[in-house]
Structure 1
Amino acid sequence: MLQNPSFKKTRIAPTPSGYLHLGNALSFALTAAMARRAGASILLRIDDLDRQRVQPAFVQDIFDTLNFLEIPWDEGPRDAAQFEKEYSQVHRMPQYAAALMRLEDKNAVFACNCSRSQVAAEGGEAYLGTCLLKSIPLETPEVNWRVYTSADRPLRMKKWPYNSVEARLPATMQYFVVRKKDGYPSYQLASVVDDHHYGVDLVVRGEDLYDSTLAQLYLATLLQDQPFLNTTFYHHPLLKKEGEMKLSKSASDTSIQYWRKEGKTAADVYTMIAGMLGHKEPVSDWEDLGALLLPG
């Protein structure tokens, strides 16, 4: 049997836009288990650039949830106060601005003043390039910056543990946003910059973010970010409720906070997660869950 490859660092990267749910717990547990296998350290990186949705209670819930589930991390804030003072993404705004300037210098971006409702009406989940030829100045207030993309450009993704695949940018990610109308960087850009900044070389995320991974690889190609292009990715299956609906932070009955208040233990939560994925045996901790679910 082949040995698992080794990595330097992975990350847990929750967004404080709601109370964390069972799907987040699954991702955290698999990240910790893969880090243990690969000899990697774990960074806690909280993605808080969606300033309109971030709330102090949601930030605190991240620490409460990780401690309740006994998920370890080696780098990053130990509590909400330290996060705000030292680790919030707002402290890295100059780095995001530098990346955006590089894209501007390469003539790789264009301005778009379309609203979300307009994009949805015209193309559903896909942006059809409405503003491609409008030549809207990038300095125009309240415009998105979108990337010029090509559906034909090949992208190489390194997949955990041993193989790589060639893919193309999907329709839903054509002309994706790198700077939002409020002037803040998009998730795609901030994620690439942050992973490079912290030296992350292994990323564990849900399979719903597969298209985002391709967008980030495309962006890393434009930025000539070789470390990010060499990152290895693992996209794990999602937990779903009845009717095959993806779990949501707005559904209180799937939140870790809810189950804590109901008196459940961490082992109860891990066993619940395993059951939702078709495994009936009890699971005591994140290591057991990782051994049960991870390939290899």
Structure 2
Amino acid sequence: MQQFVRSRLAPTPSGYLHLGNVLSFAITTVLARQSGARVMLRIDDLDQRRVREAYVADIFETLAYLDIPWDEGPLDYRAYETVYSQIHRVGLYRDALQQLRAQGVVFACDCSRAAVRHEHPAGVYTGRCRHRALPLDGPGYCWRIDTDKADLPASMRYFIVRKKDGMPAYQLTSLVDDLHFGVDLVVRGEDLWDSTMAQLFLADTLGHQRFRQASFVHHTLLEADAGEKLSKSAGATSVHYLRNKGYSKTAIYRMVGEAAGLPQPISSWADLSPLISVFILPIRP
């Protein structure tokens, strides 16, 4: 297998971690160990309105309970808060935003979600504000990047790089963090394929061609009973809920394996190693 330097676990502390997170963490850990990569814990917490201390603590508790290791990043809440929070990297994100502004590739947009849906039934942004010449420093405007000449999925046309509150948006912060920490193995669920495409475009725009040398692995997701992906709002599938109900580590891994349709039970992340190809999706053209 190709050798890599660094991968990452990147949970968002907006809810308790669930079985789908466990599967993603396990896949990342297996691929990192197989390829010699170090695993970094990176907590994506820039949206401070949704962050709760209990959710951050749950990340450390869940990883410890399930014996999922990491080699770099915070070891506890204090280290996270004082050193590793994304708040401490806001300057890097704003530097990237200013570079995009200087290049003339962003435009201001005041469209609400309702307005976007009105323009397109699927909620795809059509570029309505691209030629309106709204001031970039206008209050309550987000910044969108001009993707008119890019071959991107519909969901990522003119994607947002700065939110209406002035804070950097996810696509930009995720890219800047991966560049900053030297991540060259990015493991994500299949639902984030469009994000990978957006971030590759953004890296090219900012002149970070080396980002294309990284490997991007997308994996299948666990589904809820209704055929939808698991979310942090699905309380009964959260590790926090299961732990409080007395489920052991082995029982939780068994649930993950059963939900994934594995032919044999698993009792740890390492048990996925010989089965890892079941989850990896082919690279899209």
Q: TM-score, normalised by structure 1?
A: 0.91
Q: Distance between the aligned counterparts of 2:170 and 2:93, measured in 1?
A: 11
Matched, 1:213 2:196: yes
Q: Secondary structure at the match of 2:40?
A: strand
Task: State whether residues 33 and 291 of structure 1, in contact with CA within 8 Å, keep that contact through their aligned partners in structure 2.
Answer: no
Q: Distance between the aligned counterparts of 1:290 and 1:30, measured in 2?
A: 8
Q: 1:139 Cα shift?
A: 0.6
Matched, 1:35 2:18: no
Displaced runs of 4 or more, over 6 A: none
- Aligned position for 2:275: 292
- Aligned position for 1:112: 109
For the aligned residue pairs, the C-alpha RMSD in angstroms reads 1.2
Q: 1:280 Cα shift?
A: 4.0
- Aligned position for 2:161: 178
Q: 1:9 aligns with which of 6, 12, 15?
A: 6
Matched, 1:234 2:243: no
How many residues align structurally? 278
- Aligned position for 1:128: 126
Greater fraction of residues in strand: 1
- Aligned position for 1:146: 144
- Give % identity: 52
Q: TM-score, normalised by structure 2?
A: 0.95
My pick for the range that moved more, 202-211 or 262-271, is 262-271
Matched, 1:244 2:227: yes
My pick for the range that moved more, 256-265 or 89-98, is 256-265
Q: 2:87 aligns with which of 76, 80, 90?
A: 90
Q: Secondary structure at the match of 2:119?
A: helix
Q: 1:259 Cα shift?
A: 1.0
Q: Deviations over 1:10-60 (max 9, x none)?
A: 000000000111110001000100010000000000000111111111110
The residue identity in structure 2 corresponding to 1:234 is: V
Q: Secondary structure at the match of 1:294?
A: helix
Where do residues 15-54 of structure 1 align in structure 2 (5 Å cutoff)?
15-54=12-51
Where do residues 264-275 of structure 1 align in structure 2 (5 Å cutoff)?
264-275=247-258
Q: Secondary structure at the match of 2:168?
A: coil
Task: State whether residues 29 and 290 of structure 1, in contact with CA within 8 Å, keep that contact through their aligned partners in structure 2.
Answer: no
Where do residues 66-85 of structure 1 align in structure 2 (5 Å cutoff)?
66-85=63-82
Q: Deviations over 1:182-241 (max 9, x none)?
A: 111100000000000000000011000000100000100101112322110111001001
Q: Distance between the aligned counterparts of 1:279 and 1:122, measured in 2?
A: 43
The residue identity in structure 2 corresponding to 1:84 is: E
